[in-house]
Amino acid sequence: MYLLNILEDIMFIETLKTLRLYERQSKLGVYHTFKRKNTLYVFKCDCCGITFFRPKSRVDQDRATNDYKHVCSFCDSKRFAQKVSVKMRRIYQTDASSDRPIGSS
């Protein structure tokens, strides 16, 4: 049962590499093929649970782990962040009007 809970929390699934082949025509009319490699990260949305892709160039390298929350483009990320902060305030037993500075622990 505990292992099942751990597997449900995995939101960074895998890294995919794609290869696209293109063809262009030179000035002399000769066709040349060239390839472009693209790396994609596969995430599972923490809000709605669907699987989505993000190019590696649009994701910070440190955020490609399960330590961070990931929200797809269909969900409202700011609304999700509000829900998470409410849960965290309940865990740490602080209210929104506490006089503790934001950056302190």
pLDDT tens column, 32-49: 999 999 999 999 998 888
Give the start-to-end residue ranges of the domains of the chain.
2-92
β-bridge partners, 90: none
| Average pLDDT over all residues of the chain | 83
* Cβ contact 54:40 at 8 Å: yes
Residues 6+ apart with CB under 8 A from 16: 39, 40, 41, 42, 53
Model confidence at 6: pLDDT above 80: no
Average pLDDT of the residues in 61-76: 87
Q: H-helix or E-strand containing 21?
A: strand 12-25
Model confidence at 87: pLDDT above 90: no
